[in-house]
Copies of this chain bind each other. A is one copy, B any other.
Amino acid sequence: MMRYHKVPEETIKRMPQYLRALLFLRQQSTKYITSRGLSEYVLLNPPQIRKDLSYFGAFGLRGTGYEVEPLIKQIRRILKLDVEQKTVLVGAGRLGSAIARFPGFQRYGFNITDIYDNAGKRIGKKIGKIQIKDVAKLNKIKANSVKIAIIATPPETAQQIADALVKAGVTSILNLTSAYLAVPKKVRVRTVDLAMELGMLPYYT
């Protein structure tokens, strides 16, 4: 049992992929899946999958594979997605409102509880059931113990939003702007800049 080995960062990045595949399999009423079967959904080879999972424990059944439902529970627990993760969204422009209505987040345990914007014309309006609040009141989220935030503002304001979020106790940020965010070491930032994601594709053509 390898539970006490250090888990590679790359393994952590792959765990949500396994979760996604397993959720899909459950929907298809699949009860058991082998590492070979899973490999068709995540484009990784079977030993890689087995090794990744084995860092956290021995979840499989030799001769049979992995039981889908319990494995979903385990991965959710490992990634801390078994408890509802309160999430705040800053920026209610086009991208922000697309995000706010995105069904995928719920399925992973993320619950967008607050939406903020700085534009007067948007404040007070609703996206779904959530009323857009003034970004000046971001400090209020502290009492709410929100740890995760999504920034979907113009890049120019991203840093000041990040500062306010950190001050309010947020520890993880998904940055959807092209701005580089300077934050304290304890705060985790994942930046997804769509233009940059496209940027590497032509190289291989």
Contacts and interface: CB of A to CB of B under 8 A. Distances in A.
A87 B195 CA distance: 12
Contacts of A81: 199, 202
A194 B95 contact: no
A110 B188 contact: no
Contacts of A110: 195, 198
Contacts of A192: 192, 194, 197
Q: How large is the interface on A (under 10, 10 to 19, 20 to 34, 35 or more residues)?
A: 35 or more
Most B C-beta atoms less than 10 A away, residue of A13, A19, A98, A147: A98
Interface of A: 12-13, 15-17, 19-21, 41-43, 78-81, 85, 87, 93-95, 97-99, 101-102, 104-105, 107-108, 110, 147-148, 150, 171-172, 174, 176, 178, 180, 188, 190, 192-205
13 contacts: A19-B199, A20-B193, A79-B199, A79-B200, A80-B205, A81-B199, A87-B198, A95-B95, A102-B195, A108-B195, A110-B195, A147-B202, A172-B204
